[in-house]
Amino acid sequence: MLPYKTIDEASAALGRPLTALETLWFNYTATKSDYFIYCHNILFLFLIFTCAPALYVLLEHLSSLADNNKIQKYKIQPKVKFSLSEKFRCYRDVMRMFILVVGPLQLVSYPSVKMIGIRTSLPLPSLGEIAAQLLVYFMIEDYTNYWMHRFLHCNKWGYEKIHRVHHEYTAPIGYAAPYAHWVEVLLLGIPSFLGPAVAPGHMITFWLWIALRQIEAIETHSGYDFPWTPTKWIPFYGGAEYHDYHHYVGGQSQSNFASVFTYCDYIYGTDKIINRTSFGTSGGFTALVCFSLVATVDLVCGDSFVVVCASLVIKKLLVGRLEVSSSLRSGLKMFSV
């Protein structure tokens, strides 16, 4: 709840008039508790998980009705098909897990969100602040998720008892992005909160982070690799093709562990089937991108983080790990014959 009764009081406290967005935020949140505002996150989770994968389902269904191969040619594993009932069953199972595990966890996790310093007050963050914090959140989540995910594959008990559930889909679909054992949902939910804990921001930034992370996971598990997606312009972004290979190999997979980017797999030697042509194979360019990302994280994490990451990148560049791998699509089609 905002500590101002009127817009004039808020303007006086800020020393300037409220922007249009700040006025909108004031009108909506002035009389609502911070806890109520935080709980909007649950609504966003349910809506995004319901609607985003449905776009892929609709696109695939319309394509099949029209007998149009323009969409199917971008399907990574074209011989694997799921019926509408199978997709709905996946949605139902995940939604049950959301209601029984994720929802209650969100409701009781508010004290920790408040403790780390996520605010609902004015002023609203600038676009630059939001972008910088989101980048930090993505990189921290990606790094910690990489090691937790890798541990679940390297540890036989962890895979058989926990992570195997997520790999029931060797050809993933959008609704299968959060399809996992409830223990894995809790474990891999931790990295999502580490970024906001390191660089706490506004509740709007937190909402955007949770929404974008879920949309990214759905796109990565969609089973389609469209050339026009905006994520193709993001350096070191893994995407659907990259992660689909991990699912295709299944429990024996010892590669492509990262959730968002490919830099962890690259640095630690677990990257497979990477199409590097989207951002070149020049060591100088790769180093430049890496240092740009690391420099952003350094604004929050300190110089030691830069030194460690920079040394790892330079080491890998010097030993020549920039070989170009064969394409995933060719590999999957070859093994599907």
Do 121 and 3 touch, CB atoms closer than 8 A?
yes
For 104-113, 153-162, 173-182, 288-297, which range has the lowest pLDDT when averaged over its residues? 288-297
Per-residue pLDDT band for 251 (boundaries 50, 70, 90) equals confident
CA dihedral 58, 63, 65, 66 (to 10 degrees): 140
Long-range contacts of 264-273 (CB under 8 A, 24+ apart): 264/142, 264/143, 264/146, 265/146, 266/236, 266/316, 266/321, 267/312, 267/313, 267/316, 268/146, 269/321, 270/150, 271/325, 272/245, 272/325, 273/241, 273/242, 273/245, 273/325, 273/326, 273/327, 273/328, 273/331
In a domain, 105, yes or no: yes
Residue 99: CB atoms within 10 Å: 12
Average pLDDT in the chain:
84
| Structural domain includes residue 46 | yes
Residue the block writes with tokens 């604004």: 299
- Convert the pLDDT of each residue in 258-283 to its tens digit: 999 999 999 999 988 655 433 333 34
CA distances from 241 to 172, 221, 246, 256 (A): 11, 9, 9, 10
**Distance between first and last Cα of the chain:** 61
Residue 202 dihedral angles phi and psi, to the nearest 5° = -85, 160
Any domain includes 89: yes
Q: At 42, list the tokens.
A: 């649950």
User: Is position 300 within any domain?
Assistant: no
Q: Distance between CA 98 and CA 92 in Å, rounded?
A: 10
Confidence at residue 107, expressed as pLDDT on a 0 to 100 scale = 86
Give percent of the chain with pLDDT exceeding 70: 80
* 15 within domain boundaries: no
Rounded CA separation 95/78 (Å): 27
Phi-psi sector, 256: left (phi>0), alpha (psi -120 to 50), beta: left
pLDDT digits (tens, 9 = 90+) for 70-110: 788 899 999 999 999 999 999 999 999 999 999 998 888 99
Q: How many domains does the chain have?
A: 1
Containing domain of residue 176, as a range? Answer: 33-224+234-281+322-336
Between CA 252 and CA 197 the distance in angstroms is 34
- Which comes out higher in pLDDT, residue 150 or 291? 150
> Does the residue 302 lie in any domain?
no
- Letter string b/e over residues 292-308, b meaning 16 or more CB atoms within 10 A of that residue's CB: ebbebbbebbeeeeeee
Q: What is the pLDDT of residues 16-31, one digit of tens each?
A: 999 999 999 999 999 9
What are 168-181's pLDDT values in tens digits? 999 999 999 999 99
Check residue 178 and report its DSSP letter. T
Q: What is the model's pTM? A: 0.82
The pLDDT score that the predictor gives to residue 318 is 38
Identify whether 292 is part of a domain: no
2 lies in some domain: no
Residue 322 CA to residue 150 CA, distance in Å, equals 22
303 pLDDT exceeds 80?
Answer: no
Residue 315, Cβ density class (10 Å: 0-12 exposed, 13-18 middle, ≥19 buried): exposed
- Find out whether 169 and 179 touch, Cβ atoms under 8 Å: yes
pLDDT band at 314 (very low <50, low <70, confident <90, very high): very low
Cβ(191)–Cβ(140) below 8 Å: yes
3-state secondary structure of 223: coil
Grouping H, G, I as helix, E, B as strand and the rest as coil, residue 258 is: coil
- For 176, phi and psi rounded to 5 degrees? -90, 0
**How high is the pLDDT of residue 273?**
62
